[in-house]
């Protein structure tokens, strides 16, 4: 497994793969790898001849009061995980390699970054889209794999790849959960035992909404009440948002759900080491009512 630290070497190795007719997939990460990341690598292996993973804790997507310094960094364990997963190369750029002295160029996606995580985290998605563009330009892959847990991020990156001629296919991979339903996340490592138990409330809220939809509930307000009632069961939790939105445009859902609808959650837990923000989501698919069905 190769360790790559410079953009120049990454581009040279990628160009050599293309010249040899091999298809390259890249899995961008911020490290602290877990089984969810492993699922992304497995998906990349199914679609490409060579798989690279990037590890870079991107400073520009963290706000001044967020957890950049506390974000878990487990490089040796990450590299062992990559070797076990059959990763061909890991791109480990230092900050100055992606943000050289005096850097002043940013990549932004406009409307998709305004709601949900973008509303209360100014500059977050500008940092995400800028670093993703830099990583894709550095590694020059045929495709890149991202997890659906970060649903808005995936939608934003897909828009980025459509709007700019990067020549990269963006692939989304399903959420991987622990046995109790908690979505795998690097930030789970920051939870103390009590908040880890409370973290189950996110998946339980999603499941409650899904059961309500399966039972025929289609009213947006009623579904959000179901979600709120479940989230209230976690005393250490503060709800950042719980919203129903169109899964492609991320616009607010209509008062009566008529098709697949994203239920997106973000909850901040008061953990012993400081606040920990977790996100989760599910696409709800309501059954058509009698008035929606075409006449025979």
Catalytic positions, written as ranges: 37
Question: Which tokens belong to 161?
Answer: 């790849």
Dist CA 37 CA 29 (whole Å): 8
Residues in the chain: 296
Q: Which of 203, 224, 220, 294 is nearest to 257 (CA)?
A: 220
Nearest CA among 269, 194, 276 for reference residue 238: 269
């Amino acid at each position: 497994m190769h360790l790559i630290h410079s953009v120049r070497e990454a581009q040279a190795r990628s160009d050599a793969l293309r010249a040899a007719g091999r298809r390259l997939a890249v899995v961008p990460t911020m490290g602290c790898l877990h089984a969810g990341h492993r699922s992304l690598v497995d998906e990349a292996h199914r679609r490409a001849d060579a798989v690279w993973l990037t590890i870079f804790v991107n400073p520009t997507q963290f706000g001044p009061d967020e957890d950049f310094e506390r974000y878990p960094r487990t490089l040796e364990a990450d590299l062992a995980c990559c070797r076990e997963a059959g990763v061909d190369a890991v791109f480990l750029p230092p900050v100055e390699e992606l943000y050289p002295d005096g850097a002043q160029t940013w990549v932004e996606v406009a409307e998709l970054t305004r709601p949900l995580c973008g509303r209360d985290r100014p500059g977050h998605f500008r940092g995400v889209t800028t670093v993703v563009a830099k990583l894709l330009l550095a590694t020059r892959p045929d495709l890149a794999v991202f997890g659906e847990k970060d649903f808005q991020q995936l939608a934003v990156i897909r828009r980025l790849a459509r709007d700019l001629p990067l020549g990269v296919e963006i692939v989304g991979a399903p959420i991987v959960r622990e046995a109790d339903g908690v979505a795998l996340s690097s930030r789970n490592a920051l939870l103390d035992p009590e908040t880890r138990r409370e973290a189950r409330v996110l998946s339980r809220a999603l499941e409650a909404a899904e059961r309500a939809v399966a039972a025929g509930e289609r009213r947006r307000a009623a579904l959000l009440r179901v979600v709120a009632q479940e989230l209230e069961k976690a005393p250490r939790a503060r709800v950042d948002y719980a919203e129903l939105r169109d899964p492609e445009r991320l616009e607010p859902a209509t008062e009566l759900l008529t098709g697949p609808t994203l239920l997106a959650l973000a909850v901040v837990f008061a953990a012993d080491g400081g606040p920990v923000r977790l996100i989760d989501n599910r696409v709800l698919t309501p059954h058509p009512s009698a008035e929606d069905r075409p006449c025979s």
